[in-house]
A and B are shown apart, each in its own frame.
Chain A
Amino acid sequence: EAGVTQFPSHSVIEKGQTVTLRCDPISGHDNLYWYRRVMGKEIKFLLHFVKESKQDESGMPNNRFLAERTGGTYSTLKVQPAELEDSGVYFCASSQDGTSGAGELFFGEGSRLTVL
Chain B
Amino acid sequence: AQSVTQLGSHVSVSEGALVLLRCNYSSSVPPYLFWYVQYPNQGLQLLLKYTSAATLVKGINGFEAEFKKSETSFHLTKPSAHMSDAAEYFCAVRYYRDDKIIFGKGTRLHILP
CB pair A102 B43 closer than 8 Å:
no
Interface residues on B, range: 20 to 34
CB pair B106 A105 closer than 8 Å:
no
CB pair B99 A109 closer than 8 Å:
no
Q: A48-B100, A55-B99, A59-B100 are in contact. Are A102 and B44 (CB under 8 A)?
A: no
Expressed in whole angstroms, the minimum distance between the Cβ of A84 and any Cβ of chain B is 21
| Dominant secondary structure of chain A at its interface with chain B | loop
Report chain A residues within 8 Å CB of B80. Answer: none
Task: Give residues 71-113 of B contacting A (CB, 8 Å).
Answer: 90, 94, 98-106
Task: Give residues 77-103 of A contacting B (CB, 8 Å).
Answer: 91, 93, 98-102
Query: Which A residues are within 8 Å of any B CB, using their own CB?
Result: 3-4, 31, 33, 35, 40-45, 48, 55-56, 59, 91, 93, 98-102, 104-105, 107-110
